[in-house]
A = this chain, B = another copy of it.
């Protein structure tokens, strides 16, 4: 988009000031604080133009201007300078995650908590549904009496377990045999694939125990479904209450309710953009949910073995510190990708 240099400066000043103060910005403020070397009157003329272009708007006639959604969009696309993470923050993050990298879940939790803490917005992380993941290992293990534990390992590094209650006790050998059979039949398949698998095909090898087999299959599905429900990591949701635009309980409730809807948040976060690290910025109604019309969602993906395996993001008011947030998310994306390497 073409625009005179000074208009850009005015727009940027308005946005920066509004982000900082949450108050409509007047012409006087801009000419004084963001020394553009022109008088308020000149600024007013520019503002009138910017308003006509739809980049800023007036809450009412005698108030200053606030950025419109389009204004923010223009800002993040053309004006904003991404702010790199300071070394201090980098160090802080690394120290806090150093002990967490053993287990993927802990790592991911730690990352989300840090993000919300540093930004003061809500932070989220999504591990996509398992449907496309390949079962890389499966094992049945006897516990006590008539209890078995089923271990499932997926190619994205996640491990799940599920406890099985069975009717008749099985011998060690039977368990081992069954375990082998499951391994041969299911390993290498995606979750989607084995879900559609005909249990008959399996049971031909073990028809004597078709009930047990069915129970096991149900149990596997259970294990991956429990996880399905737990694959959204959310931290700092209450931070939105610190924002002056969320002084109203109804608005807060709208946002928090939506945040609890795993499915919706997943959909929102998985539509990732094209930029580097797949950074995506969705502003206001671009999130396509009424309740998020006053929020912006910034997301980045992270990878394992060159494949995107998750999305991490920050949800704040549209009046968000985009430049900082983007920098931080890029850093976090790289960090996660790095930490997962070789797992």
Chain A interface (Cβ within 8 Å of chain B)? 102-106, 136-137, 139, 141, 143-144, 149, 151, 153, 159, 161-165, 219, 222, 226, 238, 241, 246-249, 252-253, 256-257, 260
Contact = CB atoms under 8 A, between A and B. Distances in A.
A79 to B, nearest CB: 32
Contacts of A163: 102-104, 159
A241 B253 contact: yes
Given A226-B106, A252-B241, A139 B141 contact: yes
A165 B252 CA distance: 42
B165 A161 contact: no
How many copies of the chain does the oligomer comprise? 2
A92 B102 CA distance: 42
B141 A102 contact: no
A159 B161 CA distance: 8
Contact of A257 (B151, B159, B238): B238
Contacts of A219: 102
Given A103-B163, A159-B161, A252-B252, 19 more contacts: A102-B163, A102-B164, A102-B165, A103-B162, A103-B222, A105-B226, A106-B226, A137-B143, A139-B141, A141-B141, A143-B153, A149-B159, A151-B151, A159-B163, A161-B161, A238-B256, A241-B249, A248-B249, A249-B249
A102 B222 contact: yes
Contacts of A106: 222, 226
A105 B161 CA distance: 12
- Lowest 3 A-B CB distances belong to which pairs? A161-B161, A241-B253, A159-B163
B103 A226 contact: yes
A156 to B, nearest CB: 13
Nearest to A225: B106
A106 B241 CA distance: 31
A144 B136 contact: yes
Contacts of A153: 143-144, 149
A164 B103 CA distance: 8
Contacts of A144: 136-137, 153
A151 B159 contact: no
Contacts of A102: 163-165, 219, 222
Contacts of A105: 226
